[in-house]
Structure 1
Amino acid sequence: MNTPPTEHPQATPAALAAHIANALRNAIAERGQASLAVSGGKSPIALFEALRTQPLDWQKVTVILVDERVVPHDHAASNTALVRQHLLQDGAAAARFVPFFDEPPPALSAVVLDALAEQANQRLADLPWPLDVAVLGMGEDAHTASLFPGAPGFARAIATDQRLAWVVPDTAPHARLSLTLSALLAARELVLSIAGESKLAVYHRAAEQAHETLPISLVLNQSQTPVSVWIA
C-alpha cells in the first residue's frame, strides 16, 4: 500500500530549511553524522541561503548533489558551483562536500559516461549511507533529479541498484549524472519542493499513480520512503 506524501502548503524557504536542519540534527544525535543531497537550478537558492544559517553541527554533515550536469565546475550550469556559492557559506562552510567528479571528460560518449558514472559511484561508496535527507525538485515534464522521461539512460537509472547513473536529456542541455531511483528511495526522507500552478497541476497528476512517463510519480507512489511536499 502506498503511503501518501505529507503536504505543506504555502511553504516558505525558512520553514523548509528548519525542517531539513531538524532532520540533520536528529541524524547527528542518533548516528554521529548526517548526509544531505540537494538539487540544483535557480529554485533552491532561497532555501540554500536559509539553510546555511541554521544552527547545526555542520562539520558532521556530508553534502552531495542529487544530480549534476557534466560541465566544468566554473560553468554557469554547474550545480557544484551553485551549491558552493549559495549553500556552503556561513556555518555550512564547515560541511563536507563531495562533488561527483573533479573535471568532466573533454568528449562524451556512452562509454565515457559509463566510466564517469563508475568513478562517481566509487566516490560515493564510502559516504554515510543511506542519505538522511534528499531534497528534490520537479520539472513541468515531471522529471526529478535528472530522471528525464524517455531520455537515453533513463531506463537504466530507474532500474539499477547503483547510486548514480548517467542520463542525456532530449529536452535539456548537457549530459547528467544523477542519483538513481533506488538511491533516492533508500533515503531516510525525501523532500519535494515545488512552486507555481503549472507544477502543482503536474504534481497532482503524478500523485494519482506511478508511471514511468511521469518520473516524480515513482517517488510519490511508494511505501518505502517518507516524502514531504513543500508547496510554495
Structure 2
Amino acid sequence: DAIDEIHQRMDRLPLPVSLTVLGLGEDGHIASLFPGMDPKRLSARHCVAVKPPIAPSRRISLSLAMLAQSEQIALVVTGESKRRLLDRLSSNPDPNLPVTWLLQSSQSPITVFETSM
C-alpha cells in the first residue's frame, strides 16, 4: 500500500528532518493531524493516512513522531484567532489538540512566526 512504500522511501533519507515548517489551524490542527484523532495512531514511523473531518478525501501526513523529531520547527501563526489559541495553550494546554501534542513531544526548538493576514 502507499503508506508502506512511503515508509520504505523515507527509510533511505537522512533523518531527522533539519527544518519543518507548519501552519496552525484555528481548531489546533497541524499538518493533516486534526483534533479528535488518536495521538498513539499518529505516532507511526514516518507518515499516516488520515481522513480529515473537514475534507472529502483521505490524505497522507507526516506522523506526529516524524514532526516531533525535526531538528527545528517553524510554526506559522496567521491571524489574531490563532495567536489567541496559541497564547491560551501556553498556559492551559488542551490534550485533544495536535499542536499541544507537538509542543509537548518535541525535544527541538519551536520558533513561532506571526503574520496578520
Cα distance change of structure 1 residues 122 and 210 upon mapping to structure 2, 3 Å threshold: farther
More strand by share: 2
CA deviations on 1:98-129 (whole Å, 9 max, x unpaired) are xxxxxxxxxxxxxxxxx221111112111111
Q: Which has the higher contact order (CA 8 A, sep 6+)?
A: 2
* 2:5 pairs with 1:122: no
Q: Percent identity?
A: 36
TM-score (structure 1 length as normaliser): 0.46
Other-structure match for 2:61: 178
CA shift, 1:212, in A, is 3.6
TM-score (structure 2 length as normaliser): 0.86
Other-structure match for 1:187: 70
RMSD, aligned α-carbons: 1.9
Other-structure match for 2:87: 204
CA deviations on 1:192-229 (whole Å, 9 max, x unpaired) are 01110111111112233544421101222346111000
Structure 1: unaligned runs, 5 residues or longer: 1-114
* 2:108 pairs with 1:225: yes
CA distance in 2, matches of 1:141, 1:168: 16
Larger Rg: 1
CA shift, 1:132, in A, is 0.3
CA distance in 1, matches of 2:6, 2:106: 28
Other-structure match for 1:137: 23
Cα distance change of structure 1 residues 187 and 208 upon mapping to structure 2, 3 Å threshold: same
Other-structure match for 1:147: 33
Superposed structure 1 runs of 4+ greater than 4 Å apart: none
CA distance in 2, matches of 1:168, 1:155: 16
CA shift, 1:174, in A, is 2.0
Which letter maps to 1:215? P
CA shift, 1:231, in A, is 0.7
Number of equivalenced pairs: 115
Which letter maps to 1:219? L
